[in-house]
Chain A
């Protein structure tokens, strides 16, 4: 069973529609992240949350919002979808800050949601 589960796996929607992408995790991690992946641009951080009451914008948060419903659940919403939001979206978790101290806490990714906005 996947430790980080994203739903749906694929979604096609029309311009202007509101949609929600959901992420749940069984790893018990406090930190959760939303990334988008575009060809040639790599992974870019949309939002991150260090616990239920701590939510922060990443580098490309415009047009997106998030909700941390519980430690295990973190959802991403597109209030009014536009075609340039067509991308692969990944949720990730970590148990501590990346690159912290003498080691590295890896990000654990879900298998992504492929979103197409027409």
Chain B
């Protein structure tokens, strides 16, 4: 079983829709959960991170962690064409003496006008 699993999509939604992006993970000891956004032909950039359980909101974006289900979500409200990108979940895994980021496969999102 992979440490982090993410449906690669693609996901296509109309402008204004609520988008839900999800990942599952295998290790109940994970504490930090990140979302990176990657535009076409660009490197990923950190969008949001959360620690432990609960929700974190930043504008139209909400990151949610359900540790009992080992499930993390990113919600995008009032989606815009500029949100079209690949979204990658990432979790630090302590291995070999340091934390390294384990990435999900990424979900490609297209928001059409």
Chain A contact residues, CB within 8 Å of chain B? 4, 39-45, 48, 50, 56, 58, 90, 92, 97-100, 102, 104, 106-112
Contact B103 A42 (CB under 8 A): yes
A99 to chain B: which residues have CB within 8 Å? 31-32, 92, 99, 101
Q: Knowing A99-B32, A104-B32, say if A48 contacts B105 (CB, 8 Å).
A: no
Contact A98 B106 (CB under 8 A): no
B6 to chain A: which residues have CB within 8 Å? 42
Contact B99 A100 (CB under 8 A): yes
B34 to chain A: which residues have CB within 8 Å? 104, 106
Contact A4 B100 (CB under 8 A): no
Most chain B beta-carbon neighbours within 10 Å: one of A44, A98, A102: A98
- Taken together as a complex, chains A and B put the C-alpha atoms of A99 and B99 apart, in Å, by 7
Q: Which of B36-44, B64-72, B75-83 contacts A (4 or more CB under 8 A)?
A: B36-44
A39 to chain B: which residues have CB within 8 Å? 8
Interface of B is mostly: strand
Contact B42 A41 (CB under 8 A): no
Contact A40 B8 (CB under 8 A): yes
Give chain A nearest CB distance to B97 CB in angstroms: 9
B100 to chain A: which residues have CB within 8 Å? 45, 48, 58, 98
Contact B92 A107 (CB under 8 A): no
A42 to chain B: which residues have CB within 8 Å? 4, 6, 88, 103-106
Contact A98 B92 (CB under 8 A): yes
Contact B44 A43 (CB under 8 A): yes
